Amino acid sequence: MINKSSSSVIQHMARGASRALVAFSGVALLAVSPVLAAVADSKPSFPEVIPLPNGWRPEGVASGRGTTFYAGSLANGAIYRGDLRTGEGVVLYGGETGRVSVGLKHDSRNNALFVAGGATGAAYIYDAGTGADVGVYQLSTGGSFINDVVITRDAAYFTDSFKPVLYRLPLSANGRLPDASAVETIALGGDFVIGPGFNTNGIDATADGKTLVIVQSNIGALYTVDPATGYASQIDLGGATVTQGDGILLDGLDLYVVRNRSNLIAVVALSPDLSSGTITRTITNPNFDVPTTIAEFGNSLVAVNARFTTPPTPATTYTAVQFAKR
């Protein structure tokens, strides 16, 4: 039985224990807070805007291993390697007079970077780890602009904006490069008709590599292409166009088309047979300044700003922009 005196003693003891618990909790919180802060500081930042070197003049971008991305330079063919998580990077290949880097793609099988060489008519292959030059292929001579590239399991395909052709560079199962004599020229036929200005620009492929997808910038048309024959079938967009279409990205049945000077990305929902599509939405971003190409990283995309409306100087600033895919 607890009497009045015993009850007072118990209440006093309880209040003391409560005060001690509160004091202990405060000390524990103070001790844990620096740890929580350190954990928070160590979380990936994935900055929305990533600076590129001044005067860089980017056009192509590609994702590599892990959080690595690459951006080429129109100025001298240089290659920048950056980190999407930290926003930091280095010049992987310093470039040289007479070279150009337009569209580019990374082949994870041998850690190689395939680069479209613009008006040089060439394709350049670099070691994505060291920047070493591991291959040069002269795809065309005179009157060409090698604009973009896609890599499938057995070949790399390059577009030419001034000629109605694609170039095929056959690859072995492990991505080993062929002899220079192995380059093939594929004439585009079917619905494709070349016109004035920039024609074939961005290119991508279905997962099995059996169908290619290209954009014709000057008229804003999209096509599927049979890589075996070059037969091009125009994708019915219901009267819509994607003029100024530059780099493209095929993600399942969603096709992302960068419309450079329009400062937006059109998202086309394709039919299962890829014969038709509907522009379901557009992606805009206040950080866009004439984006040209995009690369995929998980549920995000990264674009480079070519800033074609800004006169290029050695001091002109350039950036890459990360944003949500959906």
pLDDT, tens digit (0-9, with 9 covering 90-100), for 77-131: 999 999 999 999 999 999 999 999 999 999 999 999 999 999 999 999 999 999 9
pLDDT tens by residue, 268-282: 999 999 999 999 999
Q: Is the pLDDT of residue 205 over 80?
A: yes
Would you place residue 4 in the very low, low, confident or very high pLDDT band (cuts 50, 70, 90)? very low
**CATH code assigned at 248:** 2.130.10.10
Look-up: residue for tokens 């290119």?
203
Whether 17 and 130 share a structural domain: no
**C-beta of residue 281 within 8 angstroms of C-beta of residue 267:** yes
pLDDT tens by residue, 142-172: 899 999 999 999 999 999 999 999 999 999 9
**For the chain, what is the domain count?**
2
Q: Cα–chain-centroid distance for residue 11? A: 68
Higher pLDDT, 34 or 272: 272
Both structure tokens of 144: 């060409």
pLDDT, position 12: 43
For the ranges 28-42, 141-155, 166-180, the lowest mean pLDDT is seen at 28-42
* Rounded-to-integer distance, Cα 105 and Cα 131, Å: 14
pLDDT, position 57: 98
Q: Which of helix, strand or coil describes residue 216?
A: strand
Q: Is the pLDDT of residue 29 over 80?
A: no
pLDDT, position 21: 37
Q: Is the pLDDT of residue 24 over 70?
A: no
Domain that includes residue 302, residue range: 49-324
Whether 182 and 247 share a structural domain: yes
Q: Is the pLDDT of residue 41 over 70?
A: no
Q: Is the pLDDT of residue 31 over 90?
A: no
Whether 23 and 53 share a structural domain: no
pLDDT tens by residue, 234-269: 999 999 999 999 999 999 999 999 999 999 999 999
Q: For the residues of 74-104, what is the DSSP string, one character each?
A: TTT--EEEEETTT--EEEEE---TT----SE
* Rounded-to-integer distance, Cα 307 and Cα 143, Å: 25
Whether 136 and 3 share a structural domain: no
Whether 244 and 98 share a structural domain: yes
Would you place residue 62 in the very low, low, confident or very high pLDDT band (cuts 50, 70, 90)? very high
Whether 15 and 125 share a structural domain: no
Whether 27 and 165 share a structural domain: no
Whether 320 and 272 share a structural domain: yes
* Rounded-to-integer distance, Cα 232 and Cα 212, Å: 9
pLDDT tens by residue, 285-319: 999 999 999 999 999 999 999 999 999 999 999 99
Q: Cα–chain-centroid distance for residue 51? A: 15
pLDDT, position 44: 56
Determine the average pLDDT of the residues in 55-77.
Answer: 97
Whether 220 and 284 share a structural domain: yes
> Model's pTM, two decimal places?
0.86
Whether 29 and 58 share a structural domain: no
